[in-house]
Amino acid sequence: MRRFRNVKIVATLGPASEDYDTIRALHEAGADVFRLNMSHGDHDSIREKHRIIRQIEHDLDSPIGILADLQGPKLRVGEFANGEEELVEGAAFRLDLDPAPGTEMRVCLPHPEIFEALEPGARLLVNDGKIRLTVTECGKDYAETEVITGGTISNRKGVNVPDVVLPLAALSEKDRADLEFACQLGVDWLALSFVQRAADVEEARKLCDGRAAILSKIEKPSAVEWFDNILAASDGIMVARGDLGVELPVQNVPPIQKRLVRKCRAAAKPVIVATQMLESMVESPMPTRAEVSDVAAAIYEGADAIMLSAESAAGDYPVEAVHTMDNVAREVESDPTYTEIIEASRRIERRSVADGIVAAAREIAEATDIKAICCFTQSGTTALLTARERPRVPIMALSNLRGTARRLALSWGVNCVLCGELERFKSAVISAARAAREQGYAEALDQIVITAGVPFNVPGTTNILRIAPCQESLLYSTDPG
């Protein structure tokens, strides 16, 4: 299904979007990738959503990416005798391992690993940062704190610890079970929550064993600090602004977002900007102007994808939210300023033959009347390198591997087309010209740029660039074979 925009849309599925008709409407409205949130729903409900997505993919003959988002270890306080208590600014409050119901003076924090890492002066943020505590004294099984920002604290509220790297694995036992389930199900991407270091990604990769691509969620200050290492270990990145905005001052998040997006582009790895992009559309059919500007800013920065969470999973207007994102993307990408910004931020990368081939393809396409860049890819790398160039013409990625086509659904400007296995370059040229015509990217007398690697069906061998007409009679008469 051809999109008339380059940025991709990720839509989270949930109670508001779990039947065939709604999910199909979301895809037709513009959703390129569907997110399955492993924090909500059991394996049976996740399996059913996966089945429906694959049925829609078959019915529309359109590769669709599926992203399974692992929950990660959740740090929460215990329960209170009265269900909740009011903490007053300046008061003392104790966190410990005692399972007894909490009072206005203390509550259980059933995570000994937190106490092992805490030091005096460290901050504890409760209930998305609404309550802020500072550690005054701590030991292996307790922490005395001062209430800096008071408020109502109730049962099982989440706790963030922004100032220390916790000795926690990014994968809980639940995550390990969910990871294996998702891989057996056949998802295309796995999103890791609570990533603090590259070792967290490497652990998940071993468990995944090549069955899905790994996407790291950046939501911890330590992840920002060690981002370069995490990026090198990951296949993609999600800038998860929710927890990031809790653990860091909110004014720090926009410049961090901009830096991370640029680094991902330079590395030719897809990056999603997520969290509260159209939050008001959970209840309203129209977004706020600030939300539209937020979505537009992510697109101007060059993000590969923008994501809907509660808006499409639990909101009253899931399809309208996707339509809104699609409309904003089309408008932004038609703005001449967008092209200026994207091209001004392009970094010259010339480390390999493939880098040179895709750069030349983009330059030729923009200097002449070329309608599309068609790249044959096994692993997806050539398409990712082409997307890094952010060409002004459409990118068609042709692959005989359905899994590769699905994973590329997350990448900027990449339109995935499945083709048969090819043995000769001449056959590839003919296949590309035919696909360009059938998909509406070019007409018979138009020209396209084709990149491929010889020998065929071997990842990482991009070494050929060809300009070809789309009329098959001309191909047969001019192609040297």
Sign of CA dihedral 110, 115, 118, 122: positive
**Catalytic residue status for 12:** no
User: Within 10 Å of residue 439's Cβ, how many Cβ atoms?
Assistant: 15
Q: From the candidates 123, 241, 269, 275, which is the catalytic residue?
A: 275
**Catalytic residue status for 51:** no
**Catalytic residue status for 54:** no
**Catalytic residue status for 217:** yes
Separation CA 144–CA 138 (nearest Å): 6
User: Within 10 Å of residue 332's Cβ, how many Cβ atoms?
Assistant: 21
Phi-psi region for residue 272, left (φ > 0), alpha (ψ -120 to 50) or beta? beta
Q: From the candidates 217, 258, 406, 407, which is the catalytic residue?
A: 217
Q: From the candidates 76, 402, 434, 466, which is the catalytic residue?
A: 76
Separation CA 319–CA 332 (nearest Å): 20
Q: How many helices (H) and strands (E) does the chain have?
A: 18, 21
Separation CA 45–CA 146 (nearest Å): 43
Helices of type H across 226-350: 227-233, 241-247, 253-266, 289-301, 310-313, 318-333, 336-344
Q: Which amino acid is at 162?
A: P
Separation CA 453–CA 463 (nearest Å): 5
Q: Which helix (H) or strand (E) holds 305?
A: strand 305-308
Identify the CA nearest to 260 among candidates 228, 306, 292: 228
Q: From the candidates 35, 49, 390, 406, which is the catalytic residue?
A: 35
The catalytic site residues sit at 35, 76, 217, 275
